[in-house]
Amino acid sequence: MTVATSPRPKPEAIPDHPGVYLFRDRDGRVIYVGKAISLRKRTASYFQPMRNLHPRTAAMVEGSASLEWVLVQSEVEALQLEYNLIKQHRPRYNVRYRDDKSYPWLAVPLADEIPRPRVERGPRRKGTRYFGPYAHAYAIRETLDLLLRTFPMRTCSKGVFDRHRRLGRPCILYDIHKCSGPCVGNISPEDHRRIVEDFVAFMDGRTRPTLQRLEAEMRQAAEQLNFELAARLRDQLASVRKAMERQQMVSSTPEDFDIAAFAEDDLEAAVQVFFVRRGRVVGRRGFVVDKVEALDTPALAATFVQQLYGDRADEVPREIFLPVEPEGAEALRAWLAGLRGRERPEQMATAVRFSKLAAPVLGLVAVTGLSRALHLAGGWQGLLDSNYGHFLDVKVALFLGLVLLGALNRYRIVPALSGGVRRLDELRRNVRGEVVLAACILAVTAVLSQLPPGKFVVDQAAAKPPAPPSLQVEGSDFATSVRVALTVSPGTTGPNAFTAKITDYDSGEDWPATRVALRFTPRDQPDIGASTLDLKRADDGLWRGQGSQLSIAGRWVVVGLIEGSGPAVTVPMELRIRAAPQQVRVSEVPGQPTLYTVTLAAGDSLQGYVDPGRPGPNTVHFTFFNRSGDEQPVDRGRARMTTSAGSEALTLIRLGPGHFAANIDLEPGRVSFAIDATAARTRYDGGFQQLIQ
C-alpha cells in the first residue's frame, strides 16, 4: 500500500505489523528501503520536526513524495525482503558496500564435466566453488603451480583442450606431470573429478589425508628401491607443505569463521574481513562505504553482514566475529542459518546418490523383516495373538515408515532439490525422522529380546535342537566304488575331530577297509607343507581321529587314503575352514600401554600394544610366543591397520625372532590391528583393537 509523505500521514493509516517500507521520490524512484518489526512505530520516527532529524535523514524525507510498505510474517522475512529490494533498486540513501579493489578468486567450476581451476574476478557463478579472495592474481597462480604435480588437473582453456583432443596428443603439461591428460582419454572424467575433489578438500583445509597419502607412497617406493618415484613424491610433499605455509594459521583447532573490523568517521567507513577455514586464513576482502544514512556502529555491522552474505549463501560460516553486536542480532542469526541450509552442488550430488541407494535398501529390509516376523510368530495368527507378535507388528510398522520416508526422499524431495524448488533443510528433517524411527526399532528389538518367543518358535526349538557346528564333505572313487563321508568338528582352525564313514558307492554297505588316513594340503598356501592323520576304527564301524592339521582358515584339499584287501584307494575332497574365535585378554597398568594377549591355535599366543596409545605418533608392537612362554620365531609377517578413515598396510620392522613393530600416526577413535605370520609349516593370525582418546 502507498501513502503520500506530504502532508504527514496519519499513524493509524500505517499498520502495526512487521514489514518493509520504501520511500519514493516524485519520479517514482525508490530512494530508501528499510525494515521494521512495527511499521507504524518505525515510520513515525521520520515524521517529526526536521531540526530533530539527522541531516541525511532530513534530506531523504524532504526528497520523498510517497511511502510504500509490504507486510511480512516475521522479522527474518523482513530482513530477506529488505536485502532483495536494496539489491533490485539500489536506493540512493541506503549504504552500499563496495570493494576497495576487484579481488581475484580461485574458482573451480564443479558443474563442468571436466572442471579446471582458474583465476576469476567479478560476479560469482552458480555451481562454482570459490577460494579467496587473494590480494594478487599471481598468488593464485603460484599456489596452483605448487599443487599441480600432486593434483594433476586440467588448467588449459577450452580452445586448447579441444585442439589437443582433435590432435590426439596431450600438451607439455602432461609430459611434466602437471596434468593427467583428460583431453586424450588418459584419465576418465570420473577419475579426473576425484582429483579435483581432493584438490577442493585440500584448499578447504583438509590437508592431512593428502600428506598421509604422499608419505605412505614415498615410503613404499623407497622400500621397493624405486628411488626416482620416491624423489618425485618427496618433491610433491615439499610443494604441498609450501602451499600450506602460504595459508597463515590463526587457530590451533580446525575452525571455520569470518572476522571483521571497522574504521569509521562521520562521512565514511572502511571494513576489512578475513575468511578462516579449518584454522587457516584462506582469503581477505576490503570494503568502503559512504554514510548516506544515519547509522551507528551496530546498524553498520548489520548492513555489512546482510550485504556480504546475501550472495554467498554457500560460504556462510558457523561463526562471524564482529567488533560490536549488530542491530537485530537474533533475526540475523536466523537469516544466516537459513542461508547455510541452501544446497551446494556437491551436497546435492551426495543427496541424490544416497537417496537412490537408500530407498531400495530400506524396501529390502522391510520385506525381509516382515518375512522373518511371520516365521518367528508362526504366521499371521501368531502376529495377532501374543505380546511377542504385537511387538513384531510394531517393528514391522516402523520398518514400513522407514520405507515411506525413504521413498519420499527419493521421489519427491530430492527431485525438487535438483530443480531448485526446495532446500536441504527439508531433506534434513526427513533424515532426522528416519533416525528417530531407527531408534524406535532398536528399542522394540531390545524389548523383543526379553519376551518369550511365539509358540511356533518354541515348538520348533524343542523339535529340532541345534546341532553342534561341523563340516561335512563327501568324495568318491568311481573306479573302485568307494565313497568317503567325512565330518569335521568344529570345522575351525586348530584342534578338530574327524569322523569318516567308508561305504560302497553302489550298495551303500560298509567297505572292508583295513587302514584309513587323511592327507591335508592348503590350496592357497604353497609354503605350508602337507600333513597326514591316521584314523582308528571305532565300535560303530566309523573311523575317528583328532588333530590340529587344519592350522589356517581357507580352502584345504583333503585326500582320503584307504587300504583294504586290494590296491590302495585315494579319494580327494575339499574343505573350507573358518577362523576360530580368538580369546583376547586385556591387561591395564597405570602409566604403561594397554597390553592385549590373543590366544592362538595349539596354545600359542600373540601379544600386542600401542605405545603411547594417544593421538599423534605411535608405535604398535606384535610379539608371538609359544606354549612354553618363549618368543616364537616366525619367517615373515604382514599387518594392517583399520580406522574410520579406511584400512592400510603397515611397514613392519623386525625387532626379534617373533617381534615386529610399526610406526603409525593415530587420530582419536577406534583402531583395529591384524597380523599374520608364518613359522615353518604353521601360519599364525590374530588381532586386537583399541580406543584412542
Element (H, E) at 472: strand 471-477
- Residue 356: per-residue pLDDT: 61
Q: Cell digits for 504? A: 560302497
pLDDT above 80 (res 260): yes
Instruction: Flag whether pLDDT at 58 surpasses 70.
Output: yes
pLDDT of 207 over the 80 cut:
no
Q: pLDDT higher for 508 or 448?
A: 508
Percent of the chain with pLDDT over 70: 74
Would 177 be classed as within a structural domain?
no
Domain for residue 351, yes or no? yes
Q: What is the mean pLDDT of residues 608-615?
A: 91
What pLDDT shows up at residue 620?
93
pLDDT for the residue numbered 464: 41
Domain assignment present for 137: no
Order of strands across the sheet that contains 118-120: 118-120, 105-109, 128-131
What cell does 64 get? 520523498
Q: What is the CA radius of gyration of the chain?
A: 37
| 17 in a structural domain | yes
pLDDT at 499 over 90: yes
Among the listed ranges 109-118, 178-187, 289-298, 610-619, which one has the minimum average pLDDT value?
289-298
201 within domain boundaries: no
What pLDDT is recorded for position 421?
42
Indicate whether 545 and 631 sit together in one domain: no
With respect to residue 624, please indicate whether it lies within any of the assigned structural domains: yes
Q: Is the pLDDT at 371 greater than 90, yes or no?
A: no
Do residues 679 and 599 both lie within one domain?
yes
The tally of domains found in the chain comes to: 5
Q: What is the 3-state secondary structure (H, E, C) of 4-39?
A: ECCCCCCHHHCCCCCEEEEEECCCCCEEEEEEECCH
Whether residue 442 sits in one domain with residue 350: yes
Give the per-residue pLDDT at 102. Answer: 59
Shared domain check, 540 and 613: no
pLDDT at 564: 85
Asked whether residue 187 is domain-assigned, the answer is: no
Residue among 310, 336, 280 nearest 124 (CA): 310
Domain that holds residue 34: 2-94
668 and 573 in one domain? no
What's the grid cell of residue 533? 592323520
Using the predicted structure, report yes or no on whether residue 346 has a pLDDT greater than 50. yes
Winning range, highest mean pLDDT, from 61-75, 235-249, 471-485, 509-523 = 509-523
pLDDT digits (tens, 9 = 90+) for 1-49: 566 766 677 777 788 888 899 888 888 888 888 888 888 888 888 888 8
| Same domain assignment for residues 599 and 500 | no
The pLDDT of residue 271: 83
**Do 292 and 384 fall into the same domain?**
no
CB-facing half-sphere around the CA of 361: CA atoms within 13 A: 6
In a shared domain, residues 589 and 560: no
Band (pLDDT 50/70/90 cuts) for residue 545 is very high
Q: What global pTM score does this model have?
A: 0.35
Q: What is the CATH number of the domain that holds 538?
A: 2.60.40.10
Are 566 and 640 in a shared domain? no
Last residue of a domain, one of 544, 577, 610: 577
Residues 107, 141: Cα–Cα separation, whole Å: 12
Question: To the nearest whole number, what is the mean pLDDT of the chain?
Answer: 77
Of 333, 335, 296, 272, give the one whose Cα is nearest residue 99.
272
Q: Is 531 or 423 the better-scoring residue by pLDDT? A: 531
Higher per-residue confidence, 307 vs 62: 62
Write down the pLDDT at residue 465: 41
Who has greater pLDDT, 444 or 689?
Answer: 689
Q: Tell me the range of 261-270, 382-391, 561-570, 662-671 where mean pLDDT is highest.
A: 662-671
Distance separating alpha carbons of residues 156 and 172, to the nearest angstrom: 11
Residues 410 and 511 in one domain: no
Q: What pLDDT does residue 646 have?
A: 80
Q: What's the rounded Cα separation, in Å, for the pair 21 and 42?
A: 9
pLDDT at 52: 79
For residues 422 and 478, state if they share a domain: no
| Same domain as 615, residue 595 | yes
> Using 50, 70 and 90 to split pLDDT, how confident is the model at 300?
confident
Span 445-458, mean pLDDT?
Answer: 54
* CA distance between the termini of the chain: 63
pLDDT digits 0-9 by tens, 627-638 = 888 888 988 888
Task: Choose one of 285, 317, 340: the last residue of a domain.
Answer: 340
The CATH number covering residue 62 comes to: 3.40.1440.10
Residue 125 vs residue 223, higher pLDDT: 223
CATH number at residue 312: 3.10.20
Q: Of the ranges 67-81, 554-568, 658-672, which one carries the lowest mean pLDDT score?
A: 67-81
Mean pLDDT calculated for residue range 56-71? 84
- The mean per-residue pLDDT over the stretch 258-267 comes to 80
Confidence band (pLDDT; 50, 70, 90) for 384? low
Residue 343's pLDDT is 45
| pLDDT level of residue 467 (50, 70, 90 thresholds) | very low
Query: Which of 296, 321, 340 delimits the end of a domain?
Result: 340
Is residue 190 one of the residues assigned to a domain? no
Q: How many angstroms separate the CA atoms of 14 and 40, rounded?
A: 5
- Reported in sequence order, the residue ranges of 44-141 that DSSP labels E, i.e. its strands, are 66-71, 98-99, 105-109, 118-120, 128-131
Q: Tell me the three cell numbers of residue 336.
A: 544466516
SS (H, E, C) 361-416: HHHHHHHHHHHHHHHHHCCHHHHHHCHHHHHHHHHHHHHHHHHHHHHHHHHHHHHH
**pLDDT of amino acid 422:** 46
Higher per-residue pLDDT: 352 or 157:
157
Please report, for the chain, how many H helices and E strands are present, in that order: 17, 30
Higher-confidence residue: 530 or 102?
530
